[in-house]
Amino acid sequence: MEEILIRIEKATAFLLEKSEGRKPRVGIVLGSGFSDWTNKLKTILDIPYKEIPGFPTTSVIGHRGHLILADVEGFPVLIMQGRFHYYEGHSMPELAIPIRVFKKLGVETLLLTNASGSINRNYQPGDIMILSDHINLVQDNPLIGPNVEAFGTRFPDAANIYTSELQQIGLLVAAKYGIRAHNGVYVFTSGPAFETPAEIRMMRTLGADAVGMSTVPEAMAACHANMKVLGISLIANLGSGMADHPLTHEDVMHTMNRVAPNLHQILDELVLKLSAMS
Ligand code: HPA
């Protein structure tokens, strides 16, 4: 744990110096296929993760690994372009490092994006799900180990991880840009294999609406640190066993690319709204 805290301190010190006094209040984690959103932003800093002391490094196709500080209409916004995953071998406390660094840099509102597979039979690829809650099937947690009081309490309440006011804003903005948006429960699995059809049936019985391999570790760290969280999932494919063809990462990327222009509009508006509120 001490090693993790030292890594958080190192990364924070490095980024504080680079950001020259700018205080981002909003942070975003861009998951699979969301990364291109940064292309048209006014970039202040763009640093590969591997150059940030203490940061983990990433390796997945379709995920870039850069930390970006951008100016969005006068608001400094901190962006993770590409994230770290449990299935890459990172421990849960390692997955919390960037979120804790964000918090130390001043971020109070966190927008978490991801791609997921549907479980709910009403969901279609290309729809969006605003996370109302999650189920952590991995049963590992970034908060295990000595508690860091500076971040939050030993036993954080997890009843409102996803801020209800932000959920409403997410649903309204998605509807405005013509994307079908749902409010549902995200279930976190370790991956990297997609689920079996039996697992999808089990998850449906448990009350989940979509399944993915990310977001929950970050949301737990943010909840501990008392940050506001908005979770947005793009339904990239039907869950295992629900379609008549095998599931591939290329399918996931295909849907992401198809809806990217709408997703970008949604992110533009949300980031501005969240910044104005923070
Ligand atoms: N399962 C798990 N993670 C995913 C999926 C899926 O079907 N699609 C995109 N990420």
Domain extents in the chain: 2-277
Which residues lie closer than 8 Å to 56 by C-beta, 6 or more apart?
Answer: 49, 84, 90, 94, 95, 97, 98
Give me ligand 1 centre to Cα 117, in Å. Answer: 4
| 234-256 pLDDT tens trace | 999 999 999 888 888 887 788 88
Residue range 251-271: average pLDDT?
88
| 126-176 pLDDT tens trace | 999 999 999 999 999 999 989 988 899 999 999 999 999 999 999 999 999
219-254 core/surface letters (b: 16 or more CB in 10 A; e: else): bbbbbbbebbbbbbbbbbbbbbebeeeebebebbbe
Give me ligand 1 centre to Cα 26, in Å. Answer: 26
**Nearest residue (CA) to ligand 1, atom 2:** 212
Give me ligand 1 centre to Cα 103, in Å. Answer: 28
Q: Which two tokens stand for residue 85?
A: 């995953």
Class of residue 258 by CB neighbours under 10 A (exposed 0-12, middle 13-18, buried 19+): middle
- Whether 278 shows a pLDDT value over 90: the answer reads no
Atom of ligand 1 nearest to the CA of 195: 1
Helices (H), 106-209: 164-176, 197-206
- Would you state the pLDDT for residue 198? 97
The residues assigned a catalytic role are 32, 63, 85, 87-88, 115, 213-214, 237, 249
211 lines ligand 1 (CB under 6 A): yes
33 lines ligand 1 (CB under 6 A): no
Return the CATH superfamily for domain 2-277.
Nucleoside phosphorylase domain (3.40.50.1580)
